Amino acid sequence: MTRSFRIFLLFILISLCGVSVYAQKYGIYKKTLDNGLDVIVINNPAVPLVTVEIDVKNGAYTESPGYDGLSHLYEHMFFKANSKIPNQEAYMERLRELGAIWNGTTSEERVNYFITAPVDSLKECVQFMYNAVTSPLFLKDELVKERPVVTGEYDRNEANPYFHLNREVSKRVWWKYYSRKNVIGDRDVILSTTPEKMKTIQHRYYIPNNSALLLAGDITPEKGFDLAEKIFSKWKRGPNPFDEYKVPEHPPIPENEVVVVKKPVNAVTMQCVWQGPSVGKDPKSTYAADVLSFILGQETSKFHKDLVESGLAYGVSFSYYTLNHTGPITLFAQTSIDKFDACQKAVFDELKKMTDPDYFTNEQLENAKTILATNEQYGRERASQFVHTVGFWWAVAGLDYYLNYIDNLKKITREDIKNYLEKYVVDKPHVLGVLVSPDQAEKVDLILNIKEGEIKDDSKN
């Protein structure tokens, strides 16, 4: 074979594989348009579908108390009238014509909207999303009608006893700026909101330089970038919202606190939360946190053996939720009332031992990295879901964080994990919440040495 022919073959192979100057890992390709919109294409042609997703750096973290829950209400309003579609009925009709399945989610630091449709609807879907994100009308009538729908979602949350546990703990962990973590929001704020407030959110956050367009599935990067350029380059950039509307830093938890939440439940659940790292400020700790969580999640770990295999708990976990504005570190344990005392003591004993040099083996450390890497591989199998993962990382930590995630995990050492624990967990203030049925609460109070009136009795809410 001649040299020129080899080069030609290489060129052909590269073309077939769809690699371009934007090539990245895992079939993920990124390009930024002139207006600042990040376009991310995820190529996975396993089924003849494509998912079109818009991610916006918005969510609870942008909400002052007067806007508590409005990122979420805005997400609902996205699926309503815009300059091209007169009302929600017509909106849904158009989605059916496109063969599209749709949804949206709101979290602390990301709001996303996505439609999955047959690949032959791709262009229309991209145009549809452009119209929806750039020209919502926030009709008064539609807004008024949507409020009880959102409070209906709120009702469903409140019907779940674990929602109350999480809320009571969160209020104390993020005691100064709770609205910045409270995704579902405040009922009164939701019920009294106006189209003007929706427009404020739109103009502040729904701008291309604060958003990403993700196209995932049976699509090449060239096609995706071309479509994005043609349809989305008209979207006008705006000032970076975080220059003017800064997200305040959560002050530390002043001191250890305990809250007992009384609801009719058939197990005793402990949720203990510390303030953990912010990915932008301390990325190394976020990798260490993930590796540690997956060491402790192994059934061969001391953590699992001492707490679960011993019969003290039905299940335990110790995890970190990656966020850019202080992510929580959460320890969950579930047990019976009879074993609660022994279980809670064992949990805190375990925490003291975590920095011991022999707390985990080298094999468990390496296994944790393998598990994290393979879980990513399993996750990538499902393009219509994987796109949400990529969008989340884009919003919270930046796409490069995700693309380099596995490489950085591999570098994590015992020392890094020890540093992470000492910096965020060992002897650091935390909030312990216990969910228990009202008839067993007295026993929990006694064990935790809580005097009447000292803590909130959530059953009176």
Partner 1 sequence: MTQRTKLVLLILFGLLFSISLNAQEVQSFEVNGLKVIFKQNTSNDIVSANMYFKGGVTNLTEKQAGLEAITLDVSSKATKNYPKDKLNAALERMNSQINSSSNDDFSSVSLLCVKQNFDESWKIFTDVILNPSFNEEDLNLEREKLISAVKQVNDNPDALLQKEVSHEFYVDHPYSIEVNGTEETLSSFTSDDLKAYHSDMLETSRMLLVVVGNTTLSDLKSMVNNSFGSIKKGSYVTKMPPEVEMSEPSLKVVYRELPTNYIQGTYSAPERGTDEGYTMLIASSILRDRVFEEVRTKRSLSYAPAAFYRASFSNYGAIYVTAVNPDTTIKVMINELQKMKDEPISEKELTNKIRQFLTGYYMGNETNQSQANGLAFYELAGIGYKQAVKFIDNVNKVTAADIQKASQKYMKNLQFVLIGNPKELEVSSFMY
Residues 379-438 that bind partner 1 (CB under 8 A): 380-385
DSSP H/E element including 52:
strand 49-56
- Least spacing, CB of residue 461 vs partner 1, in Å: 11
| Window of 32-40, 146-154, 316-324, 442-450 that interacts with partner 1 by CB under 8 A | 146-154
| Window of 251-259, 264-272, 318-326, 448-456 that interacts with partner 1 by CB under 8 A | 264-272
Binding to partner 1 in span 282-321, by CB under 8 A: 298-300, 308-309, 311, 314-315
Which token pair is 70?
A: 């409005």
3-state secondary structure 378-424: HHHCCHHHHHHHHHHHHHHCCHHHHHCHHHHHHCCCHHHHHHHHHHH
**β-pairing, 28-32 with 38-43?**
antiparallel
- Least spacing, CB of residue 229 vs partner 1, in Å: 26
Does residue 92 interact with partner 1 by CB under 8 A? yes
Among 7, 377, 439, 454, binds partner 1 (CB under 8 A): 377
**β-pairing, 431-436 with 268-275?**
antiparallel
Does residue 161 interact with partner 1 by CB under 8 A? yes
Binding to partner 1 in span 18-47, by CB under 8 A: 45-47
Q: How far is CA 416 from CA 141, 160, 300, in A?
A: 55, 37, 21
User: How far does Cα 18 stand from its chain's mean position?
Assistant: 30
C-alpha–C-alpha distance, residues 143 and 386, integer Å: 31
Choose between 12 and 454: whose C-beta lies nearer to partner 1: 12
Does residue 14 interact with partner 1 by CB under 8 A? no
Does residue 358 interact with partner 1 by CB under 8 A? no
> Residue 79 pairs with which residues in a beta bridge?
none
> Residue 161 pairs with which residues in a beta bridge?
none
- Least spacing, CB of residue 95 vs partner 1, in Å: 8
Among 8, 103, 240, 429, binds partner 1 (CB under 8 A): 8
Q: Tell me what percent of the chain is helix, strand and coil, each rounded to the nearest 5.
A: 50, 15, 35
Choose between 226 and 381: whose C-beta lies nearer to partner 1: 381
Choose between 44 and 275: whose C-beta lies nearer to partner 1: 44
Does residue 106 interact with partner 1 by CB under 8 A? no
Among 37, 42, 49, 395, binds partner 1 (CB under 8 A): 49
Three-class SS state of 227: helix
Q: For tokens 């884009």, what's the residue?
A: 394
- Least spacing, CB of residue 126 vs partner 1, in Å: 16
Choose between 102 and 320: whose C-beta lies nearer to partner 1: 102
The torsion of the CA quartet 203, 208, 209, 214, rounded to 10 degrees, works out to 130
Does residue 149 interact with partner 1 by CB under 8 A? yes
Choose between 21 and 159: whose C-beta lies nearer to partner 1: 159
Does residue 337 interact with partner 1 by CB under 8 A? no
C-alpha–C-alpha distance, residues 412 and 289, integer Å: 10
Size, binding site for partner 1 by CB under 8 A:
71
Q: How far is CA 389 from CA 28, 105, 156, 379, in A?
A: 12, 12, 25, 9
Does residue 257 interact with partner 1 by CB under 8 A? no
- Least spacing, CB of residue 373 vs partner 1, in Å: 8
C-alpha–C-alpha distance, residues 85 and 116, integer Å: 19
Which token pair is 457?
A: 């009795």
Taking the CA of residue 61 as centre, how many other CA atoms within 13 Å lie in the half-sphere pointing to its CB? 24
Among 99, 104, 280, 398, binds partner 1 (CB under 8 A): 99
Among 3, 21, 34, 152, binds partner 1 (CB under 8 A): 152
| Window of 7-15, 207-215, 250-258, 415-423 that interacts with partner 1 by CB under 8 A | 7-15
> Residue 272 pairs with which residues in a beta bridge?
331, 432
Does residue 370 interact with partner 1 by CB under 8 A? yes
| Window of 65-73, 93-101, 172-180, 410-418 that interacts with partner 1 by CB under 8 A | 93-101
- Least spacing, CB of residue 87 vs partner 1, in Å: 9
Does residue 188 interact with partner 1 by CB under 8 A? no
**β-pairing, 211-217 with 315-320?**
unpaired
Using CB under 8 A as the criterion, what x/- string covers residues 206-245 for binding partner 1? ----------------------------------------
Which token pair is 225?
A: 């970038």
Question: Do 206 and 58 form a contact (C-beta atoms < 8 A)?
Answer: yes
The total of other beta-carbon atoms located within 10 Å of residue 323's CB is 23
